[in-house]
Amino acid sequence: MFTRLAQRRRPRRPVFVLITAAAVAALLASGVALALISDGPGTFDVTVASNATSRTADLGNATVEYIGSSASNQSSGTGLFDPFVRLQGSPTEAGYNTCSQSSCGGDVTEFQSKTGSWTHAIPASAIPTVDCGGDLVGTSCWELFNDINEGNSAKYLSLNEVEVWLTTNARLTGYDATTGFVGATKVYDFTGSILIHDVNQGSGRGDLRYLIPVQPFNAGDLFVLYSKWGTTTGTAPDGKTWGSEGGFEEWKVRKAPSLQITKVADAATVSAGTSIGFVVTITNNGPADATGVTITDTLPGGPGIDWSENSASCAISGSPGTPPEVLTCGPVTLAANGGSLTVHLTSPTTAASCGTYNNTANFTSTNAGSGSATDLTAVQCGALVIHKNTTKGTDQRVSAAGAVFGVDGPDAGTVPDFSVTDDVTAAAPDEDADIGEVCVTGLAPGAYTVTETSPPAGYGAGSPAAGQSVTVVSGTTCSSATVATATFTNPPLADIQVIVTDAGSGDTNSSIVCAEGATTIPADAEDGDPDPAFDDTDETFSDLDPGTYTCTVIIDP
């Protein structure tokens, strides 16, 4: 934790808007120049009397802080920082993190960067960001540190110039004192005097903390830092100059974890009755351990959905239904340079599970921020169409609704699984309003048997009587070309009515007998079965299948 000696209200300053890399690319392509942030001139004092305190100065846009190295406000030791430029010169020093005097040329005052692994190009994306605080709360700042190594006999030093450039060229060339470098854009400039008292002992720590509002950059941009030290005139409190008289000054960034979370569905689409799943992975690609990493995932629910997971670091709370099930993983520590946690989520599905399942996993951490990842999977069901045809024509539908069908399929528990009646409402289960056509959607793909259990009024039993086998195809609807279709053909039925009347004598006896071929048709229930002779003058034979019928009427034999 960094503590400050005093807090004061900061003056009003411009509001900086963060822009995505894609937006910046479009901005640059349009020829619009990026704005330059400038600080100074003036003198800014961050000197402290001992390493038990820290002190902050507001430069106008940026903030600079000398951090006392007492145990209560700063950790020390190696491995906490990644240096990217080291300067060494006396009584002044200056240089960039792209090259040294020997590799870039130029005069000693302009290039005094030391060669070695501590001086190298660094991507802009590798500079850690923090909240600027103060009047810029909610705005991101680049966080830079400097390890100051002045000698024991001369601890006073001044920082007089700081510049930040964005470029894709790791070896800057064509420097001009007025226009800068060819192919580079300056986004920050400080000129003034930052007064420093180096009371901390040793190296390997961040003595000076410098916060600069983040400026838009492209994904491939390099972060180039120029600084100049020791040019403040006058006498320091120890009677010496503010010049660089000791060891090196080293700019560095804090080593930080870098978490990336991914969520990938097992498949973009599955057939109902097949399991769905997601793999959630969070990986630390940074050079430091990520601590307190926690994943939470409110799992999508639906009919037939019941989630399970396979990680010892995770658990699912709740039960299927409402409220939804929730996955929680951690908190865990993920090691630097590749430490990861993976959990596989799976759930069965049924024919009732059709639909899209959108799922977002979120993570938080104590030192690596937060984030989320989203993916989706779709459970596809199929449709079944039943045609009810008449024998009067090819693919000609019957003229009356009301046929009833039994459907037996993969979700068999009873036989049939369900019944559906041909109706004209377009409401489930028959989602087709046409007479003589039935459509049922939301079925699990697979093999089904469809049987006609009751014909419509005015028609005989459907053929085939034993039922039909069809295969419901995943993702089909009522109008799909590949929709499963069962067809039943029914004959229209007819009635025969024969009437014999007396001519007025009241003395006539008659009988009526009708037959299909050699088979006598039973009389209607009113007159008995079969008809006795000479007692029936009005006979109706109902619901007769197509065929040839012979009716014999006998009068007074």
Q: Do 142 and 211 sit in the same domain of this protein?
A: yes
Domain count, the chain: 4
CA angle 394, 400, 406 (to 5 degrees): 85
pTM above 0.85, yes or no: no
Element (H, E) at 443: strand 437-443
Q: What is the DSSP string of 5-38?
A: S---PPPP-PPPPP--HHHHHHHHHTTPPPPPEE
Same domain, 374 and 390: no
pLDDT score for 77: 45
Q: Are 72 and 147 found together in one domain?
A: yes
- 16 has a pLDDT exceeding 50: no
Neighbours of 547 (CB within 10 A): 9
Q: Is residue 178 part of a domain?
A: no
Same domain, 307 and 332: yes
pLDDT number for residue 28: 39
Domain identity same for 234 and 91: yes
Q: Are residue 524 and residue 539 in the same domain, yes or no?
A: yes
Which structural domain range is residue 227 located in?
35-173+183-254
Identify any residues that bridge with 320 across adjacent strands, giving them in sequence order. Answer: none
Q: Indicate if 100 and 214 belong to the same structural domain.
A: yes
Model confidence at 30, in pLDDT bands (50, 70, 90)?
very low
> Are 406 and 465 spatial neighbours (Cβ–Cβ below 8 Å)?
no
Q: Is residue 12 part of a domain?
A: no
| 132 and 212 in a common domain | yes
269 and 148 in a common domain: no
Cross-strand bridge partners of residue 463: 489
Q: What CATH code is carried by the domain that includes residue 480?
A: 2.60.40.10
Taking the chain, what is the end-to-end CA distance rounded to the nearest angstrom? 124
* Distance separating alpha carbons of residues 119 and 417, to the nearest angstrom: 75
Residue ending a domain, among 223, 254, 285, is 254
pLDDT value of position 23: 36
Q: Establish if 26 belongs to a structural domain.
A: no
Question: Do 65 and 133 share a domain, yes or no?
Answer: yes
Q: What is the CA radius of gyration of the chain?
A: 44
In a domain, 62, yes or no: yes
In this prediction, residue 144 carries a pLDDT of 95
| Residue matched to tokens 């024991």 | 152
Least confident range from 57-61, 84-88, 246-250, 327-331: namely: 246-250
Domain assignment present for residue 29? The answer is no
Q: Pairing state of beta strands 382-390 and 484-490?
A: parallel
Residue 315, beta-bridge partner list: 328
